Structure 1
């Protein structure tokens, strides 16, 4: 599945290259490939490449959310062009259950004004019945801070909030994941 982010969180178009990502599958998990503009604003947050980083959303990131809307359980995965990530599971809107989940496979590369990333999200990290998805990108500092969305808000809101689950759209995990999402000790 190939998708791209082309609007701000309110739905208006932005004037830079699109943020592309694709979702595929393999035995160990969902493969996420990212191709995005590189703004280098804010600068590298520090921390170790390939390791979880708290409050990564305060920096330049691409985020994906996978939701089971019946239970309001979801997986949030944040990826930084500098190689850090933050993966968490939530039980209820804005209610983190587990933070700083490890990823064995996350690589990123910056080349000029763009960056690419590839990660494998283990099947056990996903809620049991993922049926909706949304994705976001954040970059910039101060007045230039930009919040962008795959599926933007369709009603007026004063501030961006990526946990407005009503704007998520239908998505189904690949069939290869069936049964494997039950092997999810992190949800117990």
Structure 2
């Protein structure tokens, strides 16, 4: 599956090459590949690459959300061009109950683009994921730009409204069986049984 982020959070068109996200199955989980423009703004977080970084959303980042819409349980995976990541498990809107989970993630920068590859363990996904959204953030202060795969429709944006990536009502369907095959059965997650 391939997804391209072509709009800002409020449905305005972006003015640069888009972020593209590729999802494909792997035996241990879901492989996520990122191809994105590199802005280098803000600069790299001041922590070692390869480790979870709380607050990654304040840097240049791509974020992917996988939602069980009935129970409002979701997985948030954030990755950045400098090799940092953040994995959050949420139950109900914005209610983080597990964070900074380990993730196999590598990133590389080539002039004006960056590429990343993450392997998201099946264990991290809530049961019965049926919806999805993805976001990209870059820039500092007044140049801060928030982009969304499935943005808020322009006619629904209210004056003074700010971007909010936890607007679950704007997520759209994703079908893992279409990606992996009709025979695929979702592995049970001990994390989400707790």
Where on the TM-score scale, by shorter chain, does this alignment land: which range?
over 0.9
Q: Which residue of 2 aligns with 1:184?
A: 190
Matched, 1:160 2:159: no
Could you tell me which runs of 5 or more consecutive residues in structure 1 were left unpaired when the two chains were aligned: none
CA RMSD of aligned residues (A): 1.2
Matched, 1:138 2:144: no
Alpha-carbon separation, structure 2, partners of 1:40 and 1:149: 19
Matched, 1:82 2:88: no
Alpha-carbon separation, structure 1, partners of 2:186 and 2:19: 31
Deviations 1:22-48 (A, max 9, x none): 000111000000000000000001211
Please state how far the C-alpha of 1:186 moved relative to its aligned partner. Answer: 5.3
Deviations 1:18-72 (A, max 9, x none): 1011000111000000000000000001211111000100000000000000000
Aligned length: 186
Please state how far the C-alpha of 1:122 moved relative to its aligned partner. Answer: 0.2
TM-score by length of 2: 0.93
Could you tell me which runs of 5 or more consecutive residues in structure 2 were left unpaired when the two chains were aligned: none
Q: Which residue of 1 aligns with 2:44?
A: 44
Cα distance change on mapping 1:49 and 1:148 into 2, 3 Å? same
Matched, 1:102 2:102: yes
Q: Which runs of 4+ in 1 moved over 4 A?
A: none
**Contact 1:98–1:186 (Cα < 8 Å) also in 2:** no
Alpha-carbon separation, structure 2, partners of 1:46 and 1:136: 23
**Contact 2:134–2:150 (Cα < 8 Å) also in 1:** yes
Alpha-carbon separation, structure 1, partners of 2:111 and 2:139: 17
Matched, 1:169 2:175: no
Please state how far the C-alpha of 1:109 moved relative to its aligned partner. Answer: 0.1
